[in-house]
Amino acid sequence: MRQHRGYNLKLINLFATGAAGLGLLVTAAAPSAMASQPGDSRLRVTVTSPTTGSPTAQARAAASPAAAATCTINRITINRFSECEWVTVHVDVIQIVNGRPVIKGTADFNVKHQMTLKTNSANWSEKFTISKARTTGQGKGVHVNAAAKSGGGTKATVSFPQGHTLDSAAGGSVGYKTTIAPKKILAKAKTTYTYTFTKAGYSPGKVSYASAVYRCDNYYGSTRTNRSGCAIPEVPTGVSMVGLARIDEGIRNLRARGGHYGDPNGGKPLHWMINKTKETQHRTAVCPRTAPADMQAAGRTSCDEYPFASTYEGGTTLAAGQREITWVKVQENKSQGGRITAWRGQMHVMDHDPFYVIA
C-alpha cells in the first residue's frame, strides 16, 4: 500500500574484498588442513531487499483502523495502521582455500514482521517469526540474536529466544512504548531490526534492515485527556463529504469538469496543512466577503472552498480548473468542520499527510 521509493537495507560488517552489501562472521581459526591463516573462514549474510506494493487509490481512501496489511514474500505492504514486512535471508558458510572463498554450506530462511499501530494509544506491539532454515553442508548450527531500535521518542523492547539456532522455527515480539505531552506531534520514526549471527569458533556478524516509517502524536490531547495514537503517515486516508448536500454536489461538479485533486478514483491526493495564517490567506484568496444576492436569498451565505483552505493545495495554489467554491448554509459548513475534525483525530492526520475526499 505504499508508494515507497523503497527501503534500503543497511548491512553491517561489509566484506572488504567482496560485493557490496555482505555481512560477515569471521572464525577465530581455520582448520590447518585448509592451508589457511586464522580468521580466513567466514559466514557471509545477505538480505533480499523487499519491494513495496501500492493499493488502488480507492483502497487507500477506504483504509480503516481495522484493516490489516496483507503479507507477500519479499514485499513490504502497509496501510494507515499496519505493516507486514517479509524478507529472505541467505547465509553462506565460507572457507578461504589458497586465497579463494569456497562455500561449505548454506542456510536460507524468512523473517516475517506484522506490526499493528493503535489509534488510541502510543504503545503497541509487533510479532515476528523466523522460519526453519533450509540448510546444506555446514549451514547447520548457526545461531541468531534479534534486536530492534526505534526513534522519535519510542522505545522498542524485543522478546525472543536469543541464541536460537536456525535449524528450527522461532517467534518473537517487539513491544513499543511512547510518552507524548499534550498538543505534541513526534518526529517520524522507524524500527531498525538487527540480527547477530554466531557459530562456535566464529566472531559475530550483523545485518540490519528497517520497517516502514510511523509517527505518533497527542495532538488533540489535554491535561485531562490523553489522545495519543500512531499512524503510518505516507498512506493516504479518506474523508467523506457524502450527505453534505451542497458541498458534496460542488465537489462532484468540479470533478465532472476535470478537477481531480483529492479524487480517490485516480486523482492526486490533497495534503493537510497545519498553519492558521496560511489557511486564512487561502480562504481569503478565493472566497468573496459576501455571497451573491441569489445565494443570500436561498440562505446559502457561507463560502465553502475546495480544495480546503487547510490544505497545501488550497487557495489559488492550483489552476482555476482544479478548484471551486460553493455557497452553502452556515450549518452545513459547520457540519463539515465537525466531520473533518473527527476524521483527523481518528486517522491521526497531521501536517503534510496525504488524503482523499469521498464525494
Per-residue pLDDT of the chain (359 residues), as tens digits, is 434 433 333 333 322 222 222 333 433 333 333 333 444 577 778 788 677 666 555 555 555 555 678 888 888 899 999 999 999 999 988 887 888 888 888 999 999 999 999 999 999 999 999 999 999 998 999 999 999 999 989 999 999 999 999 999 999 999 999 999 999 999 999 999 999 998 876 777 778 999 999 999 999 999 999 999 999 999 999 999 999 999 999 999 999 999 999 999 999 999 999 999 999 999 999 999 999 999 999 999 999 999 999 999 999 999 999 999 999 999 999 999 999 999 999 999 999 999 999 99
Q: What is the pLDDT of residue 149?
A: 97
Say what the pLDDT of residue 279 is. Answer: 98
Do 327 and 266 share a domain, yes or no? yes
- Pair 156, 115: CB distance under 8 Å: no
Residue 66 pLDDT: 57
Within-domain flag for 143: yes
Do 140 and 244 fall within a single domain? no
So what's the pLDDT on residue 37? 40
Note whether 213 and 271 are same-domain residues.
no
Q: Are residues 292 and 338 in the same domain?
A: yes
* Domain membership flag for residue 224: no
> CA dist 283 to 153, 305, 330, Å?
36, 7, 16
Q: Are strands 354-358 and 270-271 parallel, antiparallel or unpaired?
A: antiparallel
Same domain, 72 and 125: yes
Asked whether residue 168 falls in the same domain as residue 289, the answer is no
pTM for the structure as a whole? 0.84
In a domain, 158, yes or no: yes
Query: Among 185, 217, 249, where does a domain finish?
Result: 217
In a domain, 230, yes or no: no
What confidence score (pLDDT) does residue 44 get? 79
Quote the number of domains for the chain: 2
Residue 160 has what DSSP assignment? -
The answer to whether position 341 is within a domain reads yes
Same domain membership, residue 101 and residue 60: yes
User: In this structure, are 172 and 280 located in the same domain?
Assistant: no
Is position 147 within any domain? yes
Note whether 157 and 252 are same-domain residues: no
Axis-axis angle for helices 330-347, 245-256 (nearest 10): 80
Read off the amino acid at residue 167: D
Q: Is 226 part of any domain?
A: no
Of 217, 246, 274, the residue at which a domain comes to its end is 217
pLDDT of residue 67: 63
pLDDT of residue 13: 31
Nearest in space to 242 (alpha carbons), one of 149, 356, 166: 356
Out of 188, 217, 246, pick the residue that ends a domain.
217
**Given this model, what pLDDT does residue 36 score?**
37
> How far is 239 from 249, CA to CA, in rounded Å?
15
| Domain co-membership, 210 together with 268 | no
Distance between CA atoms of residues 55 and 84, nearest Å: 14
Can you give the residue range of the structural domain that contains 288? 237-358
Q: Give yes or no: residues 212 and 251 share one domain.
A: no
Q: How far apart are CA 292 and CA 158, in angstroms?
A: 63
State residue 249's pLDDT score. Answer: 97
Q: Indicate whether 1 belongs to any domain.
A: no
| Same structural domain, 89 and 194 | yes
